[in-house]
């Protein structure tokens, strides 16, 4: 399964900035809803105006902040732009861009260049250009809780659907029940989920089901377990094994877990992909999709321990 986070999105856009700069666009238009984020990223990097599809169609006045002026200050209305880049986050069949273009007045079509950040095909003629080839199956950080993959996915509850309980709530039965019934929601899926697999005790099933019904979370199975009180690090391992055993035997294709250590353990046991909601990465067969900034930070930290004299000698060798 291919996966892209917001961090990957930003990095992929920056790698293609020279090409986009050379095309001299004076307006970026983001397609609703997923195209708005890359459109804004591009506009900020290029320091030009950005707007949405409806504002382009209605020719609504362009707005800017007070802290920075765009390099094309003369542009007051989107339809006065000379070169417009129409952006979506991804393209598969091409139906969305085609439908959106049909909404735009035809006299503007000659000014418009269409672009998708990610394409499921290596070559295509239904978009003017795309930045990266990303074949299916694929999922993004911004759509994972609304993606069809949820119908074949297992989800943790605490730290995914709702916030984690505090230690005080976990260790006090009354406070824990109060937490389960009134936990603040976090990521509520918009599709029916294959299974909710939680380390909550079976005795809290009724309260858990009340909360799930309250927030309209649909699911096929609710898998719970019985465990004694906190047991430190060993509890995390037993929780991960509980989740992994169900995931391994099931037909599920993805597990969404809140805890990084448990994510690694579940993947290690099942050899099936795990999305860690805390670190926004897919962990699959021991290979972790580290964030670009994390890798850069690690390199910088390691380099800081090397004496300057040795650094100079290394530079001479290369």
Tell me what pLDDT residue 142 has: 95
Structural domains in the chain, sorted by start: 2-135 (3.40.50.2020), 144-288 (3.40.50.1000)
Assess whether pLDDT exceeds 50 at residue 231.
no
Asked if pLDDT for residue 43 goes beyond 50, the answer is: yes
Mean pLDDT of 263-270: 96
Which tokens hold the place of 177?
A: 């029940």
* Residue 298 pLDDT level (bands cut at 50, 70, 90): low
What is the pLDDT at residue 257? 97
- pLDDT over threshold 80, residue 296: no
Region for 281 from its dihedrals, namely left if φ exceeds 0, alpha if ψ lies in -120 to 50, beta otherwise = beta
Q: Is the pLDDT of residue 182 over 70?
A: yes
pLDDT digits (tens, 9 = 90+) for 128-142: 999 999 998 899 999
Report residue 73's pLDDT band, with 50, 70 and 90 as the boundaries.
confident
The DSSP result for the chain, as a single string, is: -EEE-HHHHHHHHHHTHHHHHHTT-SEEEEPTTTTHHHHHHHHHHHT-EEEEHHHHHHTPPP---SS---TTTT--SGGG-SSEEEEEEEESSSHHHHHHHHHS-GGGGGGEEEEEEEESSSS-SSSSEEEEE-PSSEEETTTGGGSGGGGGEEE-SBTTTBPPPPHHHHH-HHHHHHHHHHPPB----SS-EEEEEEEEEGGGHHHHHHHHHHTT--EEEEEEE---S--THHHHHHHHHHHHHHHHHS--SEEEES-HHHHHHHHHHH-S-EEETTTTEEEETTEE---HHHHHHHHHHHHHTS-HHHHHHHHHH-
The more confidently predicted of residues 302 and 226 is: 226
The model's pLDDT over 201-219, given as tens digits with 9 standing for 90+, comes to 999 999 999 999 999 999 9
Which pLDDT score, from 0 to 100, does residue 151 have? 97
Classify the C-alpha dihedral 92-98-104-109 as positive or negative. Answer: positive
**Could you read off the pLDDT of 148-180 as tens digits, one per residue?**
999 999 999 999 999 999 999 999 999 999 999
Please give the Cα distance from 17 to 163 (Å, whole number): 38
Task: Determine if the pTM surpasses 0.85.
Answer: no
Residues 248-253 have a mean pLDDT of: 96
> Residue 308: its pLDDT value, please?
59
Q: Is the predicted pLDDT of residue 318 greater than 50, yes or no?
A: no
């Amino acid at each position: 399964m291919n996966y892209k986070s917001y961090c990957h999105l930003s990095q992929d856009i920056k790698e293609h900035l020279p090409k986009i700069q050379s095309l001299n666009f004076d307006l970026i238009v983001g397609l609703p809803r997923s195209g708005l984020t890359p459109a804004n990223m591009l506009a900020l990097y290029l320091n030009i105006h950005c707007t949405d599809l409806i504002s382009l169609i209605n020719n609504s006045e362009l707005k800017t902040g007070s802290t920075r002026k765009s390099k094309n200050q003369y542009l007051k209305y989107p339809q006065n732009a000379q070169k417009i880049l129409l952006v979506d986050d991804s393209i598969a069949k091409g139906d969305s861009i085609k439908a959106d273009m049909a909404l735009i007045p035809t006299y503007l079509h000659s000014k418009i260049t269409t672009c998708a950040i990610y394409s499921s095909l290596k070559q295509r003629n239904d978009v003017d250009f795309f930045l990266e080839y990303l074949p299916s199956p694929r999922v993004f950080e911004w759509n994972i809780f609304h993606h069809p993959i949820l119908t074949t996915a297992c989800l943790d509850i605490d730290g995914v659907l709702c916030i984690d309980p505090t230690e005080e709530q976990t260790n006090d039965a009354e406070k824990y029940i109060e937490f389960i019934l009134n936990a603040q929601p976090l990521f509520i899926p918009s599709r029916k989920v294959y299974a909710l697999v939680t380390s909550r005790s079976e005795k809290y099933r009724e309260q858990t089901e009340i909360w799930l019904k309250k927030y309209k979370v649909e699911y096929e199975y609710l898998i719970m377990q019985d465990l004694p009180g906190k047991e430190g690090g060993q509890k995390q391992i037993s929780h991960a094994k509980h989740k992994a055993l169900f995931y391994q035997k099931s037909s599920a294709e993805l597990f969404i877990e809140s805890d990084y250590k448990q994510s690694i353990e579940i993947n290690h046991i099942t050899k099936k992909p795990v999305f860690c909601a805390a670190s926004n990465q897919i962990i699959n067969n021991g290979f972790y999709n580290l964030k670009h900034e994390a890798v850069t930070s690690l390199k910088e930290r390691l380099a800081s321990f090397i004496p300057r004299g040795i650094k100079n000698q290394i530079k001479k060798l290369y």
